[in-house]
Amino acid sequence: MNYHKKILLSILLLTSTLFASDYYSVVEPINTYNVKSAVSGSVIKVYKNLESKIVKNNYIVKIDGKIDRIDLQQSQIKLDNLKKVLEIEKGTLKSFNKVSSKSKFDKDNQEIKILNIVSNISDMKSKVSTLKDRLLKKNLKVQNLYISNIYVQEGDYVNPGTLLYTAYDLKKGKLEIFVPIKEINSIKNKTIYINDKKTNLKVNKIHTVADSKHISSYKCEIVLPKIKKFSEVLKVTFK
């Protein structure tokens, strides 16, 4: 290797060392939600007008729940009736216990009848809760989230696992950088500069498993409390 090549190599190594703690990252929302359907059914309402907007408190997708509502109504009536029957049968048992002419067999049968009713009430309560939960999952509402994309149309039939929409939490932002494992310990106590400006930020999270794409690196997350613009590229420096 001639003299000039040695000089060039030395310069490159020095430059690499000087900027070893410089990283670039895109500002992303603090949380991303890819909301999938938990139930099956036909999509009856999609609020497409809310796409690309911050939604304060509104439904995004509604899935047909007509049959579930009817079933819930009938199940609630059955539950109320079972509770009334239970009270009557308990009163009958009390009467049996006061009458000496009633045999142990009669009293035992009455207790069994009461236990069966109690069991039926428990089953019906479980069914009512399940139906209520299913109806909630068919009417998807968001609060204070940015709706990025809605993936279904009115008339679509969805199954559990079908992607419905993507929402972002814009209250804070985050930067994700990939730091070589050997440098992780050295950056923990260093000051973070964003676009060469000193900050009081700290590394919020370090994923201590090597990234599948960035081999020999750990993914680090820096939370940004105030964001003016998302998707811009920022330089992160540790000094």
- Over the stretch 12-57, which tens digit does the pLDDT of each residue have? 334 433 444 789 999 999 999 999 999 999 999 999 999 999 999 9
**What token pair was written down for 235?**
């330089």
The verdict on domain 21-64+140-238 having CATH code 2.40.50.100 is yes
Minimum mean pLDDT range among 9-13, 80-84, 87-91, 125-129:
9-13
Alpha helices in 63-172 (DSSP H): 66-98, 104-137
Please give the average per-residue pLDDT across 154-179, as a whole number.
Answer: 96
Instruction: For the beta carbon of residue 123, count every other beta carbon within 10 angstroms.
Output: 12
3-state secondary structure 3-52: HHHHHHHHHHHHHHHHCCCEEEEECEEEEEEEEECCCCEEEEEECHHHCC
Q: Look at residue 191 and tell me whether its pLDDT is greater than 80.
A: yes
Domain residue spans of the chain: 21-64+140-238, 66-137
pLDDT at 162 over 80: yes
Q: For 154, which DSSP code? A: T
Mean pLDDT across the stretch 198-227? 87
pLDDT band (50, 70, 90) for residue 239: confident
